[in-house]
Structure 1
């Protein structure tokens, strides 16, 4: 969180505290920012202490809650939310991704991108995505990641992997339905008839959206593009869906079935998912999995591990490779 440092007493004898500008050393790395926060029908603004969410009700009047901005991987802002520019600037400075979502966190309409990102992993992603052979290798690795080691044959093609994945998810639905004694289950997602869906589908949609928010925050923190997917395509969230699918069978699907009798399945799914994030250690896993998928064996520092002063812009050269920016490259004058 933003640190407060005491100043020397003024001449009147009163003590004052000033808001200290956070440094990179003071802020947690993205792998340590494990949580998310969903807000709706609130006003978010910055005051002398920090970023706070303000709500006014007839019963209890005005209430203010301060947000631990540096400890949040992402904030999901639902309908009825307003936010000031200084508050957004604080989120960006702390590396917190802000997502604009629909009711209950379902659907992501827009997201902020902090401006202190390097392009190391974006370049790895773009090269792999633009090369059909490498893109196929990454897509295959994503499917194999879901099955676990040794569960597929080396010569299994992408079409066969898609079929095996469909069978695996269907079998998981059947197994969990039997365990919770809820009869036959069918996955549905219909925004037009949202309130008519059963608790498991409502909880699964809400939990998946929270998962998408965490994955989106991790992808942005690495400087990658959420749009350049390897399995999914044609959507600004394609890469988010690719990575989120690695964890659904382990995290969101069992959680949704456990809430089959919940009276408020969406809210309970978000709350349970958030409470278990530290147990899951999800953010470090996402960072490591993305890096290993895009560049197996390569381990470069992520953008949140590099001091902003060191993030210099290089110049591209087809012969020598990157050249240092901030340098005058004019030839020395002839003596």
Structure 2
């Protein structure tokens, strides 16, 4: 083998070199900018009479999610680059509140989608996954083997959230608090509700990005259903009591609760290492019998062929020889 060929082979990236979903940065919120692709990369462009044209390049390969707020436009080449890098693009309302639409980057494998679909399709398996999700919320195990019904678990979860709201309101000396969200009257709501909506929107975007990166379906929920983000809501609810709700109450006196909620939440993501937790929790609730260390949604083969006997056989292979064997 020539030296030139050896150098080319060493330069070819392997699966282990590719970025993992759990190692990605969290999210980037943009508004009133134009996102485009130039010869260097994807950039956000702002033009003002005072400062002229300002360009900021985006770390697309390391971003999990880009939230596009009002006044934002994106070109097709920029969207394609973000999709190739596995970055989810979410179109949101002002301040990142409400998710209107999102792109789904391609995944190199459907393994976790198949595991999710099988668990969702069976009544017993779906109940088992939903119960494991409640176990993670409550911080205790063994509910799956008990006689506690799903309706009982929903009631316990509701009581837990009421107690949490009451405790945080008392701690921050808020006389009366009621969780409400009215898009038509959002500006007249109190700072806690504004901050909670803003932080929740960011959390949904991050979870959605992780779900897409693993190749799962955002619409196949186990507790929630009837919405294209049902599974996103399932997973996001695992972290609200720890992250978004205490953060929102701490901003009860803020004059900019939406903006501060996004900035503080981004800081907390580094502290709690949320992205690796989301990856691990999705895998654990879908397959509690153990997750292989190298199983991160990235594989060297492009596609398999389904086989009813052995499960799957390698793709990109000509099986014409099998006809001769049968004859």
TM-score where L is the length of structure 1: 0.88
Deviation at 1:297, TM superposition (A): 2.2
Cα deviations across residues 77-96 of structure 1 (Å, max 9, x unaligned)? Answer: 11211111221122122211
Match of 1:241 among 218, 223, 233: 233
Query: What is the DSSP-based 3-state SS (H/G/I as helix, E as strand, rest coil) of the residue aligned with 2:43?
Result: strand
The aligned residue for residue 309 of structure 2 is 319
**Aligned with 1:74: secondary structure?**
strand
**Whole-Å Cα distance in 2 between the matches of residues 42 and 26 of structure 1?**
32
Deviations 1:73-129 (A, max 9, x none): 100111211111221122122211111112221222222222243111001100000
Aligned to 1:6: none
**Whole-Å separation in 2 of the counterparts to 1:21 and 1:183:** 62
Q: Which residue of 1 aligns with 2:8?
A: none
The count of corresponding residues between Structure 1 and Structure 2 is: 313
Q: Deviations over 1:199-223 (max 9, x none)?
A: 0000000000000011001100110
Q: CA deviation at 1:313?
A: 1.5
Cα distance, 1:333 vs structure 2: 4.2
1:242-281 alignment, distance < 5 Å: 242-281=234-273
Match for residue 23 of structure 2 among 32, 56, 60: 32
> What is the aligned counterpart of 2:55 among 64, 88, 91?
64
Secondary structure, counterpart of 2:312 in structure 1: coil
Structure 1 280/251 Cα, relative in aligned 2: closer, same or farther at 3 Å? same
Whole-angstrom CA distance in 2 between matches of 1:211 and 1:286: 11
Find out whether 1:188 has 2:197 as its counterpart. no
Match of 1:42 among 26, 33, 40: 33
Q: Are the aligned partners of 1:221 and 1:303 in contact in 2 as well (CA < 8 Å)?
A: no
1:226 equivalent in structure 2: 218
Gaps of 5+ in 1: 1-19
Q: How does 1:51-200 map to 2 (within 5 A)?
A: 51-149=42-140, 154-200=146-192
Segment of structure 1 superposing worse, 184-193 or 293-302: 293-302
Return the alpha-carbon distance in structure 2 between the equivalents of residues 107 and 71 of structure 1. 24
Once residues 121 and 22 of structure 1 are traced to their aligned partners in structure 2, the CA distance between those partners, rounded to angstroms, is: 24
Cα drift, residue 21 of structure 1: 11
SS of 2:70 mapped into structure 1: coil
SS in 1 for 2:313: coil
In structure 2, distance between residues paired with 1:188 and 1:78: 22
> Structure 1 CA distance, aligned partners of 2:12 and 2:77?
13
Q: Distance in 2 between matches of 1:73 and 1:193?
A: 31
CA-based RMSD: 2.1
Shift of 1:312: 2.5
**Is the alpha carbon distance of 1:124 and 1:299 closer, same or farther for their aligned partners in structure 2, counting shifts above 3 Å?**
same
Between the aligned partners of 2:318 and 2:19, the Cα distance in structure 1 is 36
The 3 A distance-change label for structure 1 pair 22 and 270 is farther
How far 1:145 sits from its partner (Å)? 0.8
Q: 1:332 Cα shift?
A: 5.0
Q: 1:148 to 1:64 in 2, by over 3 A?
A: same
With the length of structure 2 as denominator, give the TM-score of the two structures: 0.90
Compute the displacement of 1:184 (Å).
Answer: 1.3
**Kept after mapping to 2: 8 A contact 1:180/1:257:** yes
Q: Greater share of helix residues, 1 or 2?
A: 2
5+ long unaligned stretches in structure 2: 1-10
Contact 1:116 1:303 in 2 (8 A): no
2:92 and 2:13 map into 1 onto residues whose CA distance is 28
